[in-house]
Amino acid sequence: MGEPVDTEPAAPSAEEIIIKHPLENKWTLWFYENKSKVWEENIHEVASFDTVEDFWCLFNHIKPPSQLSLHCDYNYFKNGIKPMWEDDKNSTGGRWLLQLPPAKNSPQVDDYWKNLIMSIIGEVYEHSCEINGAIVNIRSKGTKIAIWTNNASKENGDNIITIGKKIKEVLGIQNEKLVYEAHEDTANKHGTFAKHAFML
């Protein structure tokens, strides 16, 4: 009889166990749940991460958007930026917005969301420094997925468009409409729609 064949994979070295892959930025997940009439009281910080491994630990531990209750939101923002118009980093910014049918049990919404979050924490955008975060809103009228950027001025149009085109590429969407709204216009809108500064 020959030597027994060892089919077990080699045990990871101490270095492999300890080293995590750092992200360019630290990110924070916030959760919005519509409980109080005061909007700001409904939004809570959940956890922060700055490595790929800690991101997946968190992301895989929580429900995907399609399993959330109505009127809930996930918000992933760069650490230190609150997911609200009032934050200094958001106040002059806006959002690229994708409107989808209601999310309940929609694997497509979960796919879009996962790819979008991977793209922002992986900093795949040419102007990643302009990206503050991303939000998914679960509503009865439909699901909204958005990337928030920090400069909605007309003079910054080229960068905004470049980011929007990259979002379409990341999500693999050609026919779906993406609109960019300045937060100032969203906050002051009358009715459902804000003025669209750009459209792709």
Please give the residue ranges that form the binding site for ligand MGP (CB under 6 A).
Answer: 39, 84-86, 137, 139, 192
Residue 54 or 130 having the CB closest to ligand MGP? 130
* Shortest distance in whole angstroms from residue 7 CB to ligand MGP: 54
Smaller CB separation from ligand MGP, 154 or 190: 190
* Shortest Å, Cβ 42 to ligand MGP: 9
- Kindly report the three-state secondary structure assignment for every residue of the chain: CCCCCCCCCCCCCHHHHHCCCEEEEEEEEEEEECCCCCHHHHEEEEEEEEEHHHHHHHHHHCCCHHHCCCCEEEEEEECCCCCCCCCCCCCCCEEEEEEECCCCCCHHHHHHHHHHHHHHHCCCCCCHHHEEEEEEEEECCEEEEEEEECCCCHHHHHHHHHHHHHHHHHHCCCCCCEEEEEHHHHHCCCCCCCCCCEEC
Which CB sits closer to ligand MGP, 3 or 88? 88
Nearest approach in angstroms of CB 92 to ligand MGP is 13
Q: Which residue is nearest to ligand MGP (CB)?
A: 84
**Is the Cβ of residue 55 or residue 112 nearer to ligand MGP in the bound state?**
112
Least separation, in Å, of the C-beta of 193 and ligand MGP? 9
